[in-house]
Amino acid sequence: MAQPTTLQPPAAPATQDAPRTGNWDGGNEPFKASYGKLMMWFFLLSDAFTFAAFLTTYGMIRHKHEVFTGEAKDFVFSSRWWPIPDHVFNAFPGMGEANVPLGFVALMTMILILSSVTMVLAVEAGHRMDKADVQKWLLWTILFGTTFLGSQAWEWTHFIHGHTEGTVMADGTVFHGANLAMNQYGPVLFADLFFFITGFHGTHVFSGVCLLIWCFIATTNGTFEKRGHYEMIEKIGLYWHFVDLVWVFVFTFFYLV
């Protein structure tokens, strides 16, 4: 039988094929999650790499330094050993020189966990297409988020200005507070890591607050209602919970351990 010299298009089937629904035929949602949510998960995973790099660096540098072995009450700040966190973070706004070890950071942790709760409440309201409730819970989340940022600003200010007694440095002068080159609390890297880790986290909270404000405006304008779903709130919610999660780890490794 003679072969055709040019490629012929295949004869059209008499009836249309049934839609193909296999794994690789397109039109599927991998992991049964929408595109946006899946990409948010992958972004958060990559963000977790960055924060893990910070915390790993912190762990390594901290273990490289000497540990203060005496009784906690005899502890003094020195660049020889790593400071005990509850001696560094013991101030509370409006209480002057009172010793409130970790009191303020506990309050900040509570505020952030609470903001996570109001975020889930906003997502839950979105599932029910309840615009008024979404607005209400978004506003609470924005409020707690900005309160957290304000608290962090206070915490930084206090850390930078330092305790009144200060620490006598190697050259005999008394130094108060901290900057990137020297600090009164301990090794130089202690303050550097504090600025970088809590600063990077604070930047994340700030971006989160901006996204939430945008979400609130879009909700108020009825953008999501017209779209038929509040998935954007869920995606921003994933980000917000991640930021809360990072704080849980920063809190443990920077303040508790």
Partner 1 sequence: MASHATTEQSLAPGEIPKPNTAWIWRVFGILVGITAVEFVFVFLMHPGTMRNSIFIILTIFKAFFIVGEFMHLKHETKGLIWTILVPISLLVWLLVALVTEGSFMGEVLENMFK
Q: Which residues pair with 66 in a beta bridge?
A: 81
Q: Which of 34, 65, 146, 160 binds partner 1 (CB under 8 A)?
A: 65
Would you count residue 35 as binding partner 1 (CB under 8 A)?
no
User: Looking at 57-65, 189-197, 198-206, 217-225, which segment touches partner 1 (CB under 8 A)?
Assistant: 57-65
Q: What's the rounded Cα separation, in Å, for the pair 201 and 245? A: 10
**What residues contact 57, with CB distance under 8 A and at least 6 apart?**
193
Which of 28, 36, 39, 56 binds partner 1 (CB under 8 A)? It is: 56
Sequence-distant (6+) residues with CB within 8 A of 212 are 138, 141, 142, 145, 236, 240
Is residue 134 part of the contact set for partner 1 (CB under 8 A)?
Answer: no
Q: Which stretch binds partner 1 (CB under 8 A): 117-125, 159-167, 188-196, 204-212?
A: 117-125
Of 45-53, 158-166, 189-197, 199-207: span binding partner 1 (CB under 8 A)? 45-53
- Triad 155, 156, 157: Cα angle to 5°: 95
d(CA 87, CA 228): 53
Contact at 8 Å (CB) between 25 and 164? no
**Complex with partner 1: residue 30 or 228, whichever CB lies closer:** 30
Is residue 212 close enough to count as binding partner 1 by CB under 8 A? no
Work out which of 91, 108, 111, 119 binds partner 1, going by CB under 8 A.
Answer: 119
Distance CA 83, CA 63 (A): 12
Task: Quote the radius of gyration of the chain (alpha carbons, Å).
Answer: 27
Is 205 in contact with 148 (CB distance < 8 Å)?
yes
Tokens for 45? 């995973």
Only segment of 15-23, 108-116, 154-162, 174-182 that touches partner 1 (CB under 8 A)? 108-116
Q: Does 98 bind partner 1 (CB under 8 A)?
A: no
Span of 30-38, 150-158, 208-216, 222-230 interacting with partner 1 by CB under 8 A: 30-38
The owner of tokens 């979105």 is 126
Coarse DSSP helix, strand, coil percentages of the chain, rounded to the nearest 5 percent: 65, 5, 35
Query: Any contact of residue 124 with partner 1 (CB under 8 A)?
Result: yes
47 binds partner 1 (CB under 8 A): no
For the segment 171-210, give every residue that binds partner 1 (CB under 8 A). none
Residue 9 beta carbon to partner 1: minimum distance, rounded to whole angstroms: 39
User: What's the CA gap between 60 and 64, in Å, rounded?
Assistant: 6
Which positions lie near partner 1, rule CB under 8 A? 30-33, 38, 41, 45, 48-49, 52, 55-57, 59-66, 72, 84, 86, 101-102, 106, 109-110, 113-114, 116-117, 119-121, 124-125, 128-130, 133, 237-238, 241-242, 244-245, 248-249, 252, 256-257
